[in-house]
Homo-oligomer: A and B are copies of this chain.
Amino acid sequence: MEKKFQELWSRLREIDDLESAAAVLGWDQRSYMPPGGAPARARQIGTLLRLAHEQFTDAALGKLLDELQPYEASLPYDSDDASLIRVTRRDYERAVCIPSSFKFEYDANAAMTYQVWTRARADDDFATIAPYLEKTLDLSRRYAAFFPESDHMIDPLIELFDEGVTGADLRELFGELQSNLRPMVHAIAAQSDPEASFLHQHFPADKQLAFGLDVVQRFGYDLNRGRQDLSDHPISTSFSVDDVRITTRVNEHDVTSALFGTMHEAGHAIYIQNIRKELEGTPLGRGATAGVHESQSRLWENLVGRSRAFWEFFYPSLQAVLAEQLGSVPVDQFYRAMNAVKAGLFRVGADEVTYSLHCAMRFQLEMDLLEGQVAVRDLPDVWRERFQKNFGIAPANDRDGVLQEMNWYCGRIGGLYQHFTLGNLMSALWFQAAVKAHPEIEDEMARGEFETLRNWLVENIHTHGRKFTIPELVDRVTGGVLTADAYLAYLRQKYGALYALDFSIPDRGEGR
């Protein structure tokens, strides 16, 4: 049995080596690759991922997993070996449901759609992309049909990113969020905006980068096992638990974008750097789900990075570095500007209160598209109507509307927006649990110390890698199920104070 487990482990490690190599090639593609290198690079990444997929769907792997069932059953559920067999089997069973002819059609459509979208967006031309989106929707439904036991078409699509969460769960969570957040957004909209023009002076890139890197090192991002580079789109990527990199972009006319982007990506990176070394090179050596990943990035970016306590400590150093620009701006004014709530057209860059509304609207559209309640051709109009309803404004064109971000134009509709919101919900849940266990965390933050918080996250989340699903993790931490309560309580308290509004907690029954 030990020999069989060893064989499983070797096979998985080889697959992980191929995938990690593809990740290095992807990182280089975004950061340093000369433009001429693009076509060969796409081919090389394609080959690596194809080989990894072929090896993972090899029938011999399925046979091994069957043979290892008694071994798995003999071990505790949360042991390394049992978890590896369990999680690998889940991935394997999912992967072998998809015929390679479908995968081929899917990949081709994804590549083509993305390419057409970049032009369609620039030209504000939804009509050109619409047929590709029809095809994408068709493929998404066909993908779902490979899993006939699902309650809803969207479930297998969600499962790809956030294991253990269903469309029904999300409909409920998003419903509660919307009914609670809309009144908050409306109440805040009636208030006057905080003064924030000072955020948009000229801030030299090198100073922004150095400050950001100092902050995330204090969070615990280990540069001996990571590094930061520039790229057009900020990412976090890892090639082992000891080589976890982030990229960022700098806007010299906005002091917030690189800084919060760096905190966000470092949140992802710190997660991976603290997965137990023994899990590296296997399907367990990754973040649990996309939503759990996002809970880490959002926790450091928002719960920590946009907190009053954080700026209490860091603002004097930022002022020292950028004396000319910020020397005369008091910390309170800076804190308020940083947390201004304002309905805007874009999800990316949205404040904490409106952010989940953007996601909720997109999630509902994914459901409606899959169910045929909304047709692709009507999408631009429906987008505008619903936007108006949620935010009281609507985009003047599709470029700032339904074409604004790449997500639906990468081959798949469904499962692409829940993780942002799950991340928000869990970020508040973890923070609440950590502070409950260690009330000193908030005082420490105000002294620029993050060890207690980080250690709590390492012990409760990071170390497990991908052993547990979202419900399992939430249950381990809170003994209950995932709700929006902690997140809503956090928003009510913080933004009630910021805008001097009484966001008293409504009766639970009424809230739903």
Contacts and interface: CB of A to CB of B under 8 A. Distances in A.
Interface in A215-259: 222-227, 229, 239-240, 242-243, 245
Contact of A243 (B21, B40, B223, B240): B40
Contacts of A13: 43
Interface in A1-23: 13-14, 17-18, 20-22
Contacts of A24: 21, 24-25, 28, 44
A37 to B, nearest CB: 3
- Copies of this chain, tallied across the complex: 2
12 contacts: A17-B44, A17-B47, A17-B48, A18-B48, A20-B40, A21-B24, A28-B28, A32-B229, A36-B243, A37-B239, A40-B280, A44-B239
Interface in A169-196: none
A224 B44 contact: no
A76 interface: no
Interface in A243-284: 243, 245, 280-281
A372 interface: no
A36 B239 contact: no
Interface residues of A, number: 38
A98 interface: no
B20 A44 contact: yes
Nearest to A50: B14
Contact of A34 (B41, B224, B280): B224
A39 interface: yes
B17 A243 contact: no
A431 B44 CA distance: 36
A75 interface: no
A239 B40 CA distance: 8
A484 to B, nearest CB: 38
Given A37-B242, A240-B37, A242-B39, A44 B32 contact: no
